[in-house]
Structures are given as C-alpha cells and as structure tokens.
Amino acid sequence: MLGRNRSTHFDEGRSSRCEASAFGILVLIVFLAQSTLYGGMTSAHAIPFKKMNGLGNEIVMVDLRGSTRVFTADEARAIAAQSRSHFDQLMVLHDPQTPGTDAYVRIYNTDGSPAGACGNGTRCIAWVVAQQTGRRKIRFETSGGLLEAHVESIDSITVDMGKPRFRWDEIPLAEPFHDTTKIELQIGPIDRPILHSPSVVNVGNPHAIFWVEDVDAYDLVRFGPLLECHPIFPERANISLAQVTSPSSLKVRTWERGAGLTRACGSAACASAVCAARTGRTGRNVTVTLPGGVLHIQWTGEDRILMRGPVEFEYDGMLDPALFTNAPA
C-alpha cells in the first residue's frame, strides 16, 4: 500500500510537473511566435521616428536614407493623426541629391501638403545628424533650396535660412505688386478693417505679416484660415501677427499654412524680422518672442537670414505598418 501510495503520489507529482512544463513550453512557443511576428513587422515594415520640438513646434523626423520610399500626402496625414507621432511638420530625410549635403529633406505639414522650409524642424534634424556624425556643420537640401546649420549644443543651433525673396512672383502672389512691403489686403469692413496692409515675403514658404499693436488682441484661429487661403496667395500662405516691442525685438503669433495655430514657426520669425528691418521698424538683429519661446534672427549684410534657437528631444518611436498604403522599400 505504501509503495502504491508512494507510486501514486509520485505519478501525480510527475504529472503536475509535466503539465506545468507543457504549459510553460506552450507559453514560450506563443511568446516566440508573437515576438517573431511583431519583430518581423517591426524590422521589415515598421519605420522608426524621432519626436522632437522646437519651442513647442511639434516635429517628427523620419530617416529614409538608403530607401527609395517617399511618403504620400495620405500617409503623412495618417502619421499626424496618431497621438504619439502627431506633428506640425514631418521632416523626412532622403539620400542627398547634391554633393556635399547630408540629406535631401521632404517637409510635410499636418494636412499632408508640402513645405519648402521649416526653421524649427531644420534645427531638430541638424541636431540629430550632428549626434550621428560628430560634425557641427550640417547641410540639407529642400525644395526651397540649401540650408546650412551649425550645431553648438541642443540649446543653440543656428540655421542659415537663405536669402529672402520679395518679388511678387517669387512669393508668389496672384497679381503684380511692385511694393511688397505693404500690399492691398484686408479683412473686415472696408472703412474699418480688422487687419490690413501686410508685408509679404518668401522665406522658403510664402509669408504675410500684419503689423499690430497687440498680437494677443486678435482671434487668429478665426482669421488665419481665411487669410491663408485668400485668392491673392495661389500657394496659400503663412499668416503672422507681428508686434514691435523695441528697435531690436518683436512678438509674433502665426497661423501656419497647412498646420494651423502653432506655438512657434521659425520661418515666420525670420519673415517677420526681415520685413521689420526692411520697413524700418527694427534693426537687422532681432529677438523674436513666440508663444513657445525666443528665437534670435540676424539679417546679414550678405542678404542671408540666420536663425538661432534650441530644440528638445522627446522620444523614439515606431510608425505602425498599417499607416502605409505601400510596403516600404
């Protein structure tokens, strides 16, 4: 009896251990299968991104160098619709097209439309590439031209935004204006316009700057979309309210083309500073205060616009393969 009992007890224990082992193996198999499936999707299909910001201007960077893939407007909108990858601008790095540059950069707004320049985004990607290469000078090319950045630290990155373009057909405008320091455009009653007579310039993107005494006194969410899509701007425009606070400082708020109200728009800060100097409102070295922080803008004697400011790295992430209509190359 004792032997049988011991044998029975032993068999039950062995059975329990075998069941436990079998269960453990099953769990391991399921885990490995899931890991393989997810890992395969991650390595083969999902695309890494970096979430950053420049003074609150939300930036997502995707490095597609070495790939032939180009995001569609629909894909850019899908990326922006996700909470972790939401952006004001999406900066996508591609293989260089011009010798001596680090990347050709495609820039997308929240609505999927293209942009020719993004000052805050350029500072962000310059910092990343500087970390990768160990170099301080970084050069990019966009549809708007060449951009050179000098990275001192994450708190001080200077971007040469190129030369401002003032001719009406370079901005572009829908009809000729030979004096673009002040064009005929207003919103509100004819005899008592709410906003009127903006300065216009192209700094990689079209910009209109309305000069006001208090940038916070206007409902830019209401007026911004109307002015952005005004027929005078065939490619739409960034709409800024600019307040001169001293001979060397401005306060600016911007409704960004394709993105809406933003905490910071680097090219708008450059546009406002250049137009302020051009109209005699300030000098050529200006501190621009935006809702998200401060940028330092210099319009040099060589007709170059230098923008200096910080960036912030937030986190790394992976873009869900389901967002994309085509398999990545």
Q: Considering only CA atoms, which of 63, 147, 62 is closest in space to residue 98?
A: 147
Distance from C-alpha of 278 to C-alpha of 201, rounded to nearest angstrom: 11
18 flagged as catalytic: no
Q: Which residue among the candidates 118, 124, 270, 275 is catalytic per the annotation?
A: 118
275 is catalytic: no
Three-state DSSP class for residue 79: helix
Please state whether the peptide bond connecting residue 172 to the residue before it is cis, i.e. omega within 30 degrees of 0: yes
H or E segment to which residue 77 belongs: helix 73-81
Q: How far is CA 177 from CA 162, 168, 173, in A?
A: 23, 6, 8
Task: With CA atoms as reference, report the closest residue to 75 among 65, 63, 90, 88.
Answer: 90
Phi, psi of 323 (to 5 degrees): -75, -20
Q: What are phi and psi of 64, to 5 degrees?
A: -110, 20
Give dist(CA 326, CA 279) in Å, integer: 49
Alpha-carbon gap, residue 38 to 42, rounded angstroms: 6
Q: Which residue has the tokens 């950053």?
A: 52
Q: CA dist 200 to 126, 128, 164, 237, Å?
A: 28, 32, 10, 9
Question: What would you measure as the largest C-alpha separation in the chain, in angstroms?
Answer: 112
Identify the active-site residue in 124, 265, 270, 275: 265
Active-site residue list: 118, 265
